[in-house]
Amino acid sequence: MPRHAILVIDMLNDFIGEKAPLRCPGGDEIVPNLKKLFDWVRKREDDNIHLIHIQEAHRKNDADFRVRPVHAVKGTWGSDFIKELYPKEGEYIVPKRRHSGFAYTDLDLYLREENIDTVVVTGVWTNVCVRSTASDALYHAYKVITLSDGCASKTEEMHEYGLKDLSLFTKVMSIDEYIKAWEMGEDPWIGGGDKENKVK
Alpha helices (runs of H) in 25-106, residue ranges in sequence order: 25-43
Which pLDDT value is given to residue 163?
A: 97
The model's confidence at residue 142, banded by pLDDT at 50, 70 and 90, is: very high
The model's confidence at residue 29, banded by pLDDT at 50, 70 and 90, is: very high
Q: Tell me the mean pLDDT in the region 30-56.
A: 96
Q: Which amino acid is at 136?
A: D
Relative to beta strand 4-9, strand 143-152 is: unpaired
User: Average pLDDT of the chain?
Assistant: 96
The model's confidence at residue 129, banded by pLDDT at 50, 70 and 90, is: very high
Which pLDDT value is given to residue 45?
A: 86
User: 79 vs 46, which has greater pLDDT?
Assistant: 79
Give the whole-angstrom CA distance, residue 87 versus residue 75.
Answer: 16
Which pLDDT value is given to residue 1?
A: 75
For residue 56, what are the β-bridge partners? Answer: 96
The 10s digit of each residue's pLDDT in 82-122 is: 999 999 999 999 999 999 999 999 999 999 999 999 999 99
- Burial 128-151, CB ≥16 within 10 A → b, else e: bbbbbbbbbbbeeebbbbbbbbbb
Alpha helices (runs of H) in 117-174, residue ranges in sequence order: 131-139, 156-166
For residue 32, what are the β-bridge partners? Answer: none
Question: What does each C-alpha distance from 128 to 46, 47, 152 come to in angstroms?
Answer: 32, 29, 10
Longest dimension (CA), the chain: 49
CB within 8 Å of 18: residues ≥ 6 apart? none
For residue 81, what are the β-bridge partners? Answer: 12
Angle at 26 between CA 64 and CA 188, to 5 degrees: 95
The 10s digit of each residue's pLDDT in 63-86 is: 999 999 999 999 999 999 999 999
Q: Domains of the chain, with CATH numbers? A: 4-11+24-53+99-184 (3.40.50.850)
pTM of the model: 0.96
